[in-house]
Chain A
Amino acid sequence: MKPRLRHLALACVAALPLAGHAQDFSLHGYLDGRLVAAPAERSWVEGGLGKTRYGGGSTELRFGGAALVGTAQLTPSLLALAGVQLQEGDRAGIDVLEAYLRWRPVSTTRWRGSVQAGAFFPPASLENDAIGWTSPWTLTPSAINSWVGEELRAVGAEARIERRGDVATWDLRGALFQRNDPAGNLLAIRGWSLSDRTYGLGSRLREPDAYVRDEGDQPPMRYDPFRRIGQHWGNYVQLNWRARGRGRLSLMHYDNHAATDAWAPYAGGHRLYAWRTRFWSLGASADSGPVTWIAQAMDGDTIIEPAPGRVFTTRYRAAFLLAGWNRGAWRPALRLDHFSTRELPQAPGQHAGEHGNALTAALNWRPHDWLRLTFETLYMDSTRTVRADYGLPTRTRRTQVQLSARLFY
C-alpha cells in the first residue's frame, strides 16, 4: 500500500469510533443499464481513436455504471463522505470517486466557513451535480466535464467562505492539492472526448494504442492520472455568485503546478511524466421560465519537457451551452459543445491539433423517484490532424445513441 493511501486508511480507521456513535448515516446509489448503438470506430476507452465512450459499431446492452455514496455526520459540524463506483471498460473494477472529511460549524451570521480534506473533484462542473458525479440533464457530460471526470481530482484540503445575502450568496473557495501531476496528458495525446466514463482513484486511463506502438511499446499502455510526481502543491481558486431565481456565475483557476521536467518510474520500466496543467473556467447557469440554461467555457494549456530544452505545449479550449426544459417528469435537454486543441511549437504553415463540435440531445423521464429513463443521441464532428499519420481521414463524424435505465437508491 502506498504511504498516502495508508494514511487515508488510518484516518478512516481513526474515525470509526466516532462513526460508531454517529446517528446520521446515509447511503445512496445508482445502477445504470443501457442499450447502446455505438459508432464504428473503436473507442479511446478501448485503446482506439474514437472520441465517444462506446465504439465498435455494435448495438448491444451495456452496463452503464454504478456508484454508492455514503455519508456519516460524525459530529454536528463534521461530515465524512465517500463515493465509490463500478464502471465497465477495458479494465473494470471498483474505484474511489472521492472521499473526504468536511468541517462546517454552524454560523448565526451571514458568513459561513468550511474546510474539507481528502480526495475530491475540483468544483469545475455546473452539470455534474448528481450522484456519483453524473449529470441530471444528459448521460454524456460536455467535453469540458468529461475531461474533469477523467483526469482531475484534488487530494489535499479546500477552504471555503460563504456570504449569504438577501438576494445572492457569494462564495470563495481555494484548495491546495497533490497527486494530480499527470493531468493534461489525455488532452495532449487523445484530445477532447465526450464520455461519461468517469475515473476514480485506483483506475487507469488508457493511451491510444496507435501512439503507444509509435513509441515502440506494446499496448495496452495505461497510466494513473492521480499520481504525485515531485514535491509541488497544486492549487485552485473559485469565486461563485448564486442568486435564487436568477442563476449562478462561477469563475475558476486551476494549476497543478507540476514541474514540467519531472517524471516518476512506472510499471514496465516506463516513465510517467508530470504535465503542468492550468486553466481558467467560466460558468453560468440561469432559469428563464421552465428552461434552465448552463454555459461553460474553459481555456488552458498543458506543458511537458521530456528532455532539457524540448518543451511541448498543448493549448486547449472548449465551451458548451445546454438548455434543459423542466416539464415535471419529462426533461428534454439539448447541448452544443465546441472544443479545440493546438500543439506548440508548430512547423510554419502547419496546424497540429484538433477542433470539433458536438450536439447532444437527451430526453429524460422520471416516472418515479427511483427511476430515470434517458434516450440520448450524441453527434460529434471533429478534425484531428494526427489521424493523418495513421492513414486515417482527419475529419470524423460519429453518432452514438443510448437508451438508459437508471435506478436510484
Chain B
Amino acid sequence: MRWRLMLAWLLAGSAGTVWAGQLVVRVSDTNGRAVGDAVVTLTSATAATGVAAAPVTRYVDQRDETFIPYVQVVRPGDRVVFRNSDGTRHHVYSFSDAKAFELLLHPGESSPPLTLDKAGLVAIGCNIHDHMIAYLLVSPARARVTPSQGQVVFAHLPSGKYTVTVWHPQLRPGQAPPSEVKILATEADAQRADFALSLIPDPRELSDREHVDY
C-alpha cells in the first residue's frame, strides 16, 4: 500500500507530504504562471462536501481604493463587515441576485455586519470609484481561494467521486468555469488536478495616473 502511495506522490510530482484523502489543485494561466484569487470548489454526488460550521464574520477592507481581499469564499449564514481604511468615502454596493445592498462608509468607518444567506456570487463595487471591484462567493460547498502561488490542498477527504470546479473573476464573462472529475478510491488516495485558465486583463489595473477614473 505504501509503495502505491509513494508512486502516486511521484506521479503527481508533489514536493510536499501526502496526506490521506488528499486533492491538490494547482491553477495557472496559459503561460504557466501561478494564478491567485481563483475559487476552487469541490462537489461530490457520493461524498459529503458541505461544511457544517457556525457562522463567522468576514471582513472586506478598502485600502488605496482597492477592496481587500479581491475574492473571498463565505458560507451561507456568514456575516461580512466592510471596513473603510481610506481617507475618502466609499459607497459600497452590489446589485447581485445573491445579495443587493448599499453602504456609505466614511473614512475609518466599518459597516454593520451584513448576513449573506443566499448562495451565489456577490459582485461588489463602489459607486464613487468605479474601478474598485471585489467578489464574495457564497457557497455551502468545500471551497478555497488560491493564494498567489496558485495551489490549494483539500485534505482528509472521504473516498468518492469529486468534481473540481475553478472560477476566477477574470474568466471571460459568460464562459463556463472549467471543471474536472477526480476519484479518490480510498481514504488514503491522493490526486492532483491542474487547471490552465485563459484570463482577461485585471479590470483593477485600468486605473493609473494617466487614467483618471471618475
Chain A: residues with CB nearer than 8 A to chain B?
A: 23-24, 26, 28, 30, 69, 71, 73, 76-77, 79, 81, 104-110, 129-131, 134, 136, 164, 166-168, 243-246, 287, 326, 366, 369-370, 372, 408-409
Contacts and interface: CB of A to CB of B under 8 A. Distances in A.
21 contacts: A23-B88, A24-B88, A24-B128, A30-B210, A104-B127, A109-B95, A109-B100, A129-B211, A131-B210, A131-B211, A134-B210, A136-B211, A244-B172, A244-B203, A245-B170, A245-B172, A326-B201, A366-B210, A369-B208, A370-B209, A372-B210
A326 B201 CA distance: 10
Interface stretch (B54-62, B102-110, B139-147, B188-196): B102-110
Contacts, number: 84
Chain A contact residues: over half helix, strand or loop, or mixed?
loop
A408 B207 CA distance: 13
A71 B214 contact: yes
A73 B174 contact: no
Contacts of B128: 24, 73, 76, 79
A244 B214 contact: no
Given A369-B208, A408-B209, A76 B200 contact: no
Interface of B: 87-89, 91, 93-95, 100-102, 104, 106-107, 127-128, 170, 172-174, 200-201, 203, 208-212, 214
Contacts of A366: 210
Contact of A76 (B87, B91, B107, B214): B91
Given A73-B89, A168-B173, A245-B172, A107 B95 contact: yes
Contacts of B172: 244-246
B108 to A, nearest CB: 11
Contacts of A24: 88-89, 128
A369 B88 contact: no
- Residue of B88, B93, B209 most packed against chain A (CB within 10 A): B209
- Residue of A30, A107, A244 most packed against chain B (CB within 10 A): A244
A129 B102 CA distance: 29
Contacts of A71: 212, 214
A174 B4 CA distance: 69
Contacts of B95: 107-110, 164
Contacts of A166: 173-174
Given A131-B210, A166-B173, A408-B210, A23 B89 contact: yes
